[in-house]
Amino acid sequence: MDALKFDSKGLLTAVVQDIDTGKVLMVAMMDATALRMTLQTKQAHFWSRSREKLWLKGETSGNLLDVIQVKIDCDSDSLLLQVKPRGPACHTGNFTCFYRDLDEDDVKQII
């Protein structure tokens, strides 16, 4: 953990990927405790910025993420969690949180 570069709030970005399909399921934040818990239990834990607390993904829905492998990026400031999901990863019930396309109207609003 000494090699990891946590941000000023003590967080790392964690990209969650289905190890079987390669699909990106979600992106969340991890603090050192969430990472330790994830490594110890092999269940994905994250830091909720909105609730300001540690949470086990799937603790209420049952849609746990079984962690198979954790990779560190080249800058040591983000992680890739390769998982086997036990149900949808998104709180909306979708398999992935990335189910919407950015369309032309969205782009016009941004510009």
Give residue-wise pLDDT tens across range 39-61.
999 999 999 999 999 999 999 99
pTM: 0.90
- For the chain, the average pLDDT equals 93
E strands within 45-102? Answer: 45-48, 53-56, 65-72, 78-85
Cβ neighbours of residue 9 under 8 Å, at least 6 residues apart? none
Q: Spell out the domain ranges in the chain.
A: 12-110
Summarize the confidence of residues 88-108 as an average pLDDT. Answer: 86
The pair of three-digit structure tokens given for residue 100, joined into one six-digit string: 């919407």
The identity of residue 69, as a single letter, is Q
* pLDDT grade for 4, boundaries at 50, 70 and 90: very high
| Per-residue pLDDT, 67 | 98
| Per-residue pLDDT, 103 | 79
Q: Which CATH superfamily is domain 12-110 in?
A: Phosphoribosyl-AMP cyclohydrolase (3.10.20.810)
pLDDT single digits (tens) 57-84: 999 999 999 999 999 999 999 999 999 9
The identity of residue 92, as a single letter, is T
